[in-house]
Amino acid sequence: MVATENSRTMLNIAATAADAKGGEDLVALDVSGPLPLVDIFLLVTGRNERNVAAIADEIEDRLLEAGHKRLRREGRNEARWILLDFGDLVVHVFHEQERMYYGLERLWKDCPVVPIELAAPAEATGA
């Protein structure tokens, strides 16, 4: 399997939102082969709990505005690792310590990396 066009569109919306809030080290992995219900994991790092929460909130807001339904959200209270499940796209927003500790890139190292296309700043703000 290969990530669908819809999941790639969702990825670009989420990545642009994460970038707008200072998300760092964005990595997208095509997990459609080993996971039949998910196409892409987006991994993002925030500098602290407040930043992690802001990144996750912005991603969620932008995807909801674009008409995508959130299926699940976990970890918002602690803001150390927030998971946003939008079906085809699952976003993991990590505090840098959690990202290093859990090492999802290592666990999914056999999955291809999906290129991320960030929208231009004017496009990202809707201007």
Domain boundaries, the chain: 5-116
CATH number of 5-116: 3.30.460.10
What pLDDT, on a 0 to 100 scale, did the predictor assign at position 120? Answer: 67
pLDDT band at 44 (very low <50, low <70, confident <90, very high): very high
What pLDDT, on a 0 to 100 scale, did the predictor assign at position 81? Answer: 97
What pLDDT, on a 0 to 100 scale, did the predictor assign at position 121? Answer: 59
Does residue 56 surpass a pLDDT of 70?
Answer: yes
**This prediction's pTM:** 0.90
pLDDT band at 4 (very low <50, low <70, confident <90, very high): confident
Does residue 1 surpass a pLDDT of 70?
Answer: no
What pLDDT, on a 0 to 100 scale, did the predictor assign at position 114? Answer: 95
Average pLDDT in the 53-70 region?
A: 97
In the 3-class helix/strand/coil scheme, how is the chain assigned residue by residue? CCCCHHHHHHHHHHHHHHHHCCCEEEEEEECCCCCCCCCEEEEEEECCHHHHHHHHHHHHHHHHHCCCCCCEEECCCCCCEEEEECCCEEEEEEEHHHHHHHCHHHHCCCCCECCCCCCCHHHHCCC
Average pLDDT in the 85-94 region?
A: 97
What pLDDT, in 10s, does the model give residues 90-124? 999 999 999 999 999 999 999 999 999 887 654 44
What pLDDT, on a 0 to 100 scale, did the predictor assign at position 118? Answer: 85
